[in-house]
Chain A
Amino acid sequence: MAEKITAYRFDCLEQTLSQLNKEDCAIIAGGTDVMVLHKSRRGVPPKILKSVVFIDHLSELKQVNQNQKDLHIGACCTYSELLEHALIPVALKNAIKSIAAPAIRNRGTLGGNICNASPAGDTLPLLYVYNAKLRLRSVNGERIVAINDFIQGPRRVQRDPNEIVTEIILPSVLEEDAHVVFEKVGNRNADAIAKVGFAGYIRINDARIEDVRFAFGAVGPTMVRSLNIEKKLVGKTLPLADSDIAEIVADFDKIIRPIDDQRSTAVYRKIVALNLLRYFLSLKQYQTK
């Protein structure tokens, strides 16, 4: 017989946080990662060793709103909900459309994708170039942490057992006329795990680069981003000289170290990551939005 497990489903966030303060629980938002992670062989229910707390229904975690020029996205908004929402940027919608298939998108949440911290997490490259910040709450209060500090390694995040990620903040995303590109390379067009992910972000003023950011997914334990490399391009004018492009590509060539696995090869991942970077840098014109 299956062992019993305790599951909580509180009416509000306060109660949830209070329980988390008493007991280390497995948090389930959409469950699309947790259930797979704890899957047993055929005919046996998943084995989750802790008590489970459901947070997918908490209305405090399902809001999307604008604060000045920042966008605040509730951690438990499902992908499908975000696809319908007017405030969500097109690039993020494009990234969401590349995730799994409708059934998973109806359950999976943006907060879940972050807390799962997969090296191949679909939205992560984009959230990195948006400089996304996360709001975490516990009974003791709240704190805000940058996504690249929060994600520490494969399935490793800087969350205390009594904390919940309540929202994702995309700073200034609603103000800037930045051009954002997202590319997911999978083995097929749906229900695929990324072999390479790339996000590029560029803001220009009169052909002069004011800000530029790149992030690569599925080519290392966490997203690859380098502020030092990005800085080299600030102030340059478009179109970039071939030598500038070559230098940036060579810089990333040094820090991108993918692996071979059942889905692809290290060689492929690296060439494609650099191809996508080179292509982004070579574009003559960038359209904003």
Chain B
Amino acid sequence: MSLKDISTSVPKKDHKGKVSGQLPYISDVKVENMVYGVLVRSPIAYGKIKSIQLPTLPEGYEAVGAEHISGPNYVKIIQEDQPIFANEWVNYIGEPILMLVGKDLNTLYRLLDEVKIDFEEHQAVYTLDEAIQQKSATGITMASYEFGESLENISAIEQGAHQIIEEEYDTGYQEHVYLEPQGMLAIYREDEIVVQGSMQCLYYIKNALISALDCGADEVRVVQSPTGGGFGGKEEFPSMMACHVAVAAKAVKKSVMLVFDRSEDMVVTTKRHPAKLNYRTALDKEGNILSMCVDIYLDGGANAGLSQVVLQRALINSAGVYKIPHFHAKGYVLKTNTVPNGAFRGFGAPQSFAGIESHIGHLSKLGNFDPLEYKRKYLVKQGDPTITKGIFRDPILVEDMIEDLLTASQYKTKKAEFQHNNPQNLRYKKGIGTSLFLHGCGFTGSGERDHIKATVKLLKSKDDLVSLKISNSDMGQGIYTTLSKIVAKELDLPYERVLYPDPDTKEVPDSGPTVASRTTMIVGKLLERAAKKLKTQWQSGVEQEAVEHYVHREMIPWDEKTFTGDAYPAYSWGVNIVEVEVDTLTGNVKLEKVYGNYEVGKVIDERIMKGQIDGGLAQGLAYGYLEKMTSKEGRIQQKSISDYGPPTAMDVVSIDSKVFDNPYADGPYGAKGAGELTLIGGAPAVQAAIEDALQTSFQQIPITPEVIIESLWRKEGEGD
């Protein structure tokens, strides 16, 4: 197959294996001399381990714990606060303390029940609200940043303002619900430990293993196995599981498999950070914004993990797509004794966009403006400064995208029609809402240059097949296909002659983690350059390779301390319009129409992009009204998919979407990031639509039927 237009869809590289069900995932793998591992977990939220009493272990069964770790007892991520096996303090329910290993799972589960641990319990912090109250106490604030206009200036503006609006907004947990639960296998060999499993970031794991095993780089090897969905849930979390199986394999000199079932996965793995966002906005008589202050609190859970980076993205996006005069923001990650929160598609931005879109929408109602018209007044334009004193360098097409969507959705007609018809229908009320959003592509600031330093390699064999040697994971998002297409087109080769074997750190350089909507834009560009290089040197029948290293785009340097500079090299953009029907008797929300216009530079494969749009939007919409996870005294309450309630095919309607071309010079064929963008607009648009239907305001997501019924109940009470 030759590629005329890069956007034209091709069959996905992994299509056959997945559709036929033949592709083995990690839980399907069995190797020689393999035992299973099960984790002894903390039953309490906060306390000190006094003693551990193990049952008599049958022959071939062993307990592995902190004493078996050769290196320091923490999972190498950013801070050194996450034990591999907790041996002194436990900080959340479910924290791993020991691993029992042996041949038979049934026996292991029985032994698990017989382990007795004595704790000295301490008073835990269970909720974000409790943590906010105690935020100056030692150990509660795990990270904080503050930036923007000085508070004295803002205070002066507020004094002259017509009114000051304060709003508090809450966002809940979100669970990734990747199709394949987490799983990791350590294969034991005399000279090396091979760790294989479901993952997004091979070198994060490799570095964590080198630290935990205190060994050389050539003594550990990380291989990605087919990965059934990640959504950020397989960014940092697998590093801990990899340490567990590798430490255990070393200790018992056998291969060790650790796989979670769905309920264990839901209860102990990272989630999207619950957040509280406070807005304080000064308005003039006409309802124009004079100044705005935003405070963001993220519930980090029990370990720092990646929370500080999540907070950075939340803050950078705290003004949404708007140019707000006199803007100030600060944010905190607070520790609670709950399951650690971590990376999740959007990485702090979904919380901020839900909050700012909600707040701006509410401000528009105060001034009797149409929400969309009000938002457009403040929309950033090319050349405008960002809130961190960077610049929006590239053309911004959002105005065109809005105009197009207004026509496609008949927004104005629908809005008037609903307002007219709603009073006549006592039970069902219809509404329409919009959201405007962006996503900064790639790592924050100079992360690519200073921390990641990506390298890619192309290897041409004697029979002129070209293999991609990079450390990025295809987790369903389609990079096996899209990155192969880029290389094939550049080399003018049929797509079938470009191969992308499952990454293995023994074979591939570190091209960075598969996160932050960076893969197509950053790694894709490096591959494009490597392919160009290989093409100029091409000699048929000869083994050849081409290597490329990351080159930084000229930007205003990012300073993490002052929180200034260009936070991202480029931005992708989106507009959503959502129509809903709300059942006022049950509070159930039915999606009626969903529209999305996106701008991601250039689409590398139309069908794959449509997959990102439909999947991301479904996940984003559900974040706004459907998916509900709660923690009660440190314990996650929803342990099954049906209790948590991600959308089914019966809940999502066909999504009407379009992608606008706006090629970006530093992306392959002009491509920017797309994976996270598609999630971000869902929740705010569905909230706006529900508010339109019920002619009321909400200060939280998800807006579940319980929230709606409570609001209607209160409203009815006021009417009496």
Contact = CB atoms under 8 A, between A and B. Distances in A.
Interface stretch (A139-147, A148-156, A209-217, A268-276): A268-276
A288 interface: no
18 contacts: A1-B104, A40-B106, A41-B261, A44-B105, A187-B705, A188-B650, A190-B650, A190-B651, A192-B642, A192-B645, A193-B642, A262-B639, A262-B643, A264-B706, A268-B705, A268-B710, A272-B586, A276-B585
Nearest to A184: B586
Given A41-B109, A44-B106, A189 B651 contact: yes
A52 B586 CA distance: 41
Given A190-B648, A268-B587, 17 more contacts: A40-B106, A40-B109, A42-B264, A44-B105, A183-B586, A187-B626, A187-B628, A188-B626, A188-B647, A188-B651, A189-B651, A191-B641, A191-B642, A262-B630, A262-B637, A271-B713, A276-B585
A43 B638 CA distance: 22
Most buried by B among A43, A190, A195: A43
Given A40-B109, A191-B648, A262-B638, A276 B586 contact: yes
Interface in B264-320: 264
B698 to A, nearest CB: 16
A96 interface: no
Interface string A25-61: 0000000000000001111100000000000000000
A196 B585 CA distance: 12
A254 interface: no
Interface string B219-259: 00000000000000000000000000000000000000001
B119 interface: no
Contacts of A193: 642-643
A267 B710 CA distance: 9
Nearest to B263: A41
Contact of B706 (A43, A262, A265, A276): A265
B261 A271 contact: no
Interface in B639-683: 639, 641-643, 645-651
B36 interface: yes
Contacts of A275: 585-586
B392 interface: no
B645 A187 contact: yes
Contacts of B588: 185
A22 interface: no
Interface in A50-100: none
B427 interface: yes
Given A189-B650, A190-B650, A272 B587 contact: yes
Nearest to A189: B650
Contacts of A42: 105, 259-261, 264
Interface residues of A, number: 30
Nearest to B639: A262
Interface string B681-709: 00000000000000000000000111001
A101 interface: yes
A185 B643 contact: no
A2 interface: yes
Contacts of A263: 643
Interface string A207-251: 000000000000000000000000000000000000000000000
A278 B219 CA distance: 70
Interface of B, secondary structure class, is loop
Contacts of B264: 41-42
Nearest to B36: A43
A189 to B, nearest CB: 4
Contacts of B710: 267-268
Contacts of B713: 271
A111 B74 CA distance: 54
Interface in B539-595: 585-588
A183 B588 CA distance: 12
A196 B583 CA distance: 14
A193 B641 CA distance: 11
Measured as residues with beta carbon below 8 angstroms from the partner, the interface class of chain B is: 35 or more
A264 B628 CA distance: 10
Given A276-B586, A279-B585, A43 B709 contact: no
Nearest to B647: A188
A41 B105 contact: yes
Nearest to A274: B585
| Those 8 A-B pairs whose CB atoms lie nearest each other, nearest first | A42-B261, A189-B650, A187-B645, A262-B637, A275-B585, A43-B105, A190-B648, A190-B650
Nearest to A264: B706
Contacts of B104: 1
Nearest to B704: A187
B110 to A, nearest CB: 10
A196 B264 CA distance: 28
B706 to A, nearest CB: 4
B585 A272 contact: yes
Nearest to B707: A268
A185 B586 contact: yes
A58 B646 CA distance: 37
Interface string B411-434: 000000000000000010000000
Nearest to A3: B106
Contacts of A187: 626, 628, 642-643, 645, 704-705
Contacts of B646: 188
Nearest to A272: B586
A117 to B, nearest CB: 19
Interface string A163-205: 0000000000000000000010101111111011000000000
Contacts of A190: 648-651
A195 to B, nearest CB: 8
A261 B264 CA distance: 19
Nearest to B652: A189
Nearest to B106: A44
A43 B104 CA distance: 9
A40 B36 CA distance: 16
Contacts of A195: 705
B427 A279 contact: yes
Contacts of A264: 706
A118 to B, nearest CB: 13
Contacts of A271: 709, 713
A168 B660 CA distance: 59
Contacts of B643: 187, 193, 262-263
Contacts of B626: 187-188
Contacts of A262: 630, 637-639, 643
A101 B586 contact: no
A69 to B, nearest CB: 33
A260 B639 CA distance: 16
B306 to A, nearest CB: 27
Interface string A1-24: 110000000000000000000000
A262 B637 CA distance: 6
A46 B264 CA distance: 17
Contacts of A267: 706, 710
Nearest to A268: B706
Nearest to B629: A262
A267 B427 CA distance: 20
A42 B643 CA distance: 19
A76 to B, nearest CB: 24
Nearest to A100: B642
A279 to B, nearest CB: 6
A190 B642 CA distance: 9
B257 to A, nearest CB: 10
Nearest to B630: A262
B167 to A, nearest CB: 25
Nearest to A196: B586
A188 B705 CA distance: 10
A265 to B, nearest CB: 6
Most buried by B among A41, A187, A191, A192: A187
Contacts of A276: 585-586
Interface in B592-646: 626, 628, 630, 637-639, 641-643, 645-646
B188 to A, nearest CB: 20
A178 B34 CA distance: 64
